[in-house]
Amino acid sequence: MQDNFLANSAELTHLDDHSQAQMVDVSAKMPTIREAVAVAKVRMLPETFAAIQAGNAPKGDVLATARLAGIMAAKQTATLIPLCHPLPLQKITVEITPVPQLPGYQIQSTVKTKAETGVEMEALTAVSVAALTLYDMAKALEKSIQIESIQLVSKTGGKSGDYSSPG
């Protein structure tokens, strides 16, 4: 299997001629408008959900802090993910919506840029860090909070075209 992998490595854009990881050269690409949307779900006990909704968490405003952390994280994606390009981000939103039937929250991020490469990783990083921050802010109430279903919902722009997740 390793031989087959190396034989096909010329087709893999993140590997150099010696099969070493490399950052893709996007300098010849024209900047285009690109947008990505990602979501995550955070599940918790009904009592924890009620406390957060009532603003009774020991560390303060859980949702505002998580939202801000997600925005900040999107801007730091290139320092967190080794082969990501630093991008000029023109729009970052993080919305945290209560979902009583979970119980918990859905976190959605939309990231937009005009650049040579896409912003999928920035949107995914935003929801991931927002979810982790929500956990951190509420862990005094409950240690068993679950972060789940982190996924790319859609992306527009770029050579690979538009994408929308099924369902």
Residue numbers belonging to the annotated binding site for substrate = 83-85, 121-122
Residues 6 or more apart whose CB falls under 8 angstroms from that of 108 comprise 37, 38, 39, 93, 94, 95, 97, 127, 153
Whether the CB-CB separation of 158 and 118 falls below 8 Å is answered with: yes
Packed helices 62-75 and 120-138: angle between N→C axes, nearest 10 degrees? 150
CA distance 22 to 19: 9
The binding site comprises: 83-85, 121-122
**Strands across the sheet containing 146-156:** 89-99, 104-115, 32-43, 146-156, 163-164
CA distance 100 to 64: 18
Helix (H, G, I), strand (E, B) or coil at 20: coil
Q: Which of 3, 25, 136, 162 is catalytic?
A: 136
**Would residue 61 show up in a list of annotated catalytic residues for this protein?**
no
- Count CB neighbours of 72 within 10 A: 15
Catalytic residue list: 136
